[in-house]
Amino acid sequence: MIITKKSLPRRTFLRGLGTTLALPLLDAMIPASTAWAKSPAKPVPRLGFVFMPMGCDGSRWTPPGDTLDQLSPILESLAPVREQVTVISNLELQNAYPGSHATSNSAFLSAAKAKLTESTDYFLGTTVDQVAAKQIGRETQLPSLELAMDLLQVVGQCDNGYACAYQNNLSWSSPTTPLPAEAHPRIVFESLFGEGGSTAERRSALRKKASLLDSFNADIRRLQRDLGAGDRARVGEYLDTVREVERRIQKAERDAVQNPLRDLDRPVGVPVAYADHVRLMFDLQVLAMQGDVTRVITFQLARETSNRTYPEIGVSDPHHPLSHHGNDPEKIARMAKINAFHVSLFAEFLGKLKATQDGEGSLLDHSLLLYGSGIGNPNIHDHTNLPILVAGGGATGLKGNRHLRHARPTPLANLHLTLLDRVGVRLDRFADSQGKIDGLFTPLPI
């Protein structure tokens, strides 16, 4: 890499053996001759969607007041970032009825009615993430990134009457095109830093070196000489994070080789503990956003009807049977413990985004993230009063530390339309939307 200009292009890459490394936003990327150099860097919009399966216990989710000064039991872990979070009550998915796990998953981002079929003639709708990706993802290496926690090849249980495509895929680029999500950290890592070619070619190139960053040593040294002290520190922190993520992936792969027993519910080579796997997948999302590799991400924390257990938090019951609790208080309490665990991992992710510099703000300042489920009360497969929250930082204009309560059931599509509008994607309508969510954001500057 040779720097020939006084300012670096925003899309600056280091190139190694079969690999590329996008850089985070640096001061050197802001032209010194512009007024922009003396004001906060223009934010690049990022949009993320995190899916929590099988609803939750509404009484332990819903905050008691109009602010988040007092958080509900499931949401307690959000306390450090409450100023960047708004909970929205009484949103619904009418097109998910008559009510199923498959339609909970499929309608969450599409707000569309799934065609009743178990064959390949499935039909849904383009999801909100893909509507955004077609506009704000045009300038990035990956228009969007689809992630999950489950290895779908070993999953065969799907709702009667509905193709497994509805239950396995959050993201659809068209009504007939589901986008498979990736659960293996190594494959995600290679997709972020590979330079092209087939998966096998990228993997071969990356594994010729002990570390991805070994390919960039000379370029990194040259780059660091030409950067100011602040930028050198920023690049150093970013590279340290890449090294740490790669180290954790390599450790998981070594552990898998040493363990003679394969867990069929987990991809080979991922961390044994669910929380470690989730954290690694969230850290890969931080890297993807920090390097502007992609601006649109979806993440399925677990698949609908998942029978995963959570021994690390003392819940040995499979999640799906717990969700059909029959109003048993003990089962509801254990289900709520899983709900709180999922939220706590999301809260950690928000904390990392908040701590990661992006221009003169943070990644959280320049991101909008929707967290929630397509089911309200899982005991009856209800798609009303969904557990939904939105997180984002100052540059997004999100009014945080609030609990918005609609007087009557309101389409979740209204929120999708509002988020699209906030990242610059203007639509008159999305799916069954009836308008935008009032008061969620401060007005856009003129």
Average pLDDT of the chain is 86
Confidence band for 33, pLDDT divided at 50, 70 and 90:
very low
pTM (two decimals)? 0.88
- Region 388-413: mean pLDDT is 95
Tell me the average pLDDT across 412-419: 98
The token duo for 360 is 């003169």
Identify the pLDDT of residue 302: 95
Does an H or E element contain 337, and which? helix 329-355
| Helix or strand holding residue 391 (H, E) | strand 388-392
Q: Does 441 fall in a domain? A: no
Residue 402: predicted pLDDT: 97
Strand partners, 372: 51, 388
Q: Which 8-state DSSP code applies to residue 345?
A: H
Q: What is the mean pLDDT of residues 157-176?
A: 90
The set of residues, in sequence order, having a beta carbon less than 8 Å from that of 424 and lying 6+ positions away, is 45, 135, 136
More confident residue, 262 or 415: 415
CA distance 17 to 159: 45
Tell me: pLDDT of 194 over 90: no
Q: 6 versus 357: which is more confidently predicted?
A: 357
What pLDDT is stored for residue 262 in this prediction?
44
Q: The tokens 């609609």 sit on which residue? A: 406
The predicted pLDDT at position 425 comes to: 96
* pLDDT recorded at residue 241: 84
Banded pLDDT at 31 (limits 50, 70, 90): low
119, part of any domain: yes
Looking at residue 40, what is its pLDDT? 43
pLDDT tier at 6, thresholds 50, 70, 90: very low
Task: Report pLDDT for 392.
Answer: 95
Judge whether 60 lies within some domain: yes
- Distance, in Å, from the CA atom of 192 to the CA atom of 147, rounded to the nearest integer, reads 12
Residue identified by tokens 């009743």 is 116
**Is the distance from CB of 206 to CB of 213 less than 8 angstroms?**
no
The answer to whether position 2 is within a domain reads no
Does residue 365 surpass a pLDDT of 90? yes
Band the pLDDT of 30: cuts 50, 70, 90: low
Task: From residue 420, give the alpha-carbon distance in Å to each of 109, 129, 261, 333, 386.
Answer: 12, 9, 45, 36, 20
Rounded-to-integer distance, Cα 422 and Cα 430, Å = 14
pLDDT single digits (tens) 272-306: 899 999 999 999 999 999 999 999 999 999 999 99
* Structure confidence at residue 263 (pLDDT): 43
In a domain, 300, yes or no: yes
pLDDT at 34: 41
Strand ranges across the sheet with 46-51: 145-148, 296-300, 46-51, 367-372, 388-392, 85-92, 402-411
Residue 351 lies in a domain: yes
pLDDT digits (tens, 9 = 90+) for 51-98: 999 999 999 999 999 999 999 999 999 999 999 999 999 999 999 999
- Residue 428 falls within a domain, yes or no? no
Q: What span, in angstroms and rounded, lies between the C-alpha atoms of 32 and 2?
A: 19
Domain that includes residue 415, residue range: 25-32+40-422
> What pLDDT does residue 308 have?
94
| Separation CA 281–CA 182 (nearest Å) | 10
Dump pLDDT digits (tens) for 123-161: 999 999 999 999 999 989 899 999 999 876 544 568 788
Distance from C-alpha of 140 to C-alpha of 87, rounded to nearest angstrom: 30
Examine residue 444 and state whether it is found in any structural domain, yes or no: no
Residues 285 and 270: their CA atoms lie apart, in Å, by: 16
> What is the distance in angstroms between the CA of the first residue and the CA of the last residue of the chain?
39
Q: What percent of the chain has pLDDT over 70?
A: 83
pLDDT attached to residue 273: 92
Q: What is the pLDDT of residue 207?
A: 57
Q: What is the pLDDT of residues 90-125, one digit of tens each?
A: 999 999 999 899 999 999 999 999 999 998 999 999
Asked if the bond preceding 45 is cis, omega within 30° of 0, the reply is no
Q: Give the pLDDT confidence score for residue 427 in this predicted structure.
A: 97
In the structure, what pLDDT confidence band is assigned to residue 37 with cuts at 50, 70 and 90? very low
Q: Residues with Cβ < 8 Å from 428, sequence gap 6 or more?
A: none
Which CATH number fits the domain that encloses residue 333?
3.40.720
Counting the structural domains of the chain, the total is 1
Q: Tell me which of 223 and 429 has the higher pLDDT.
A: 429
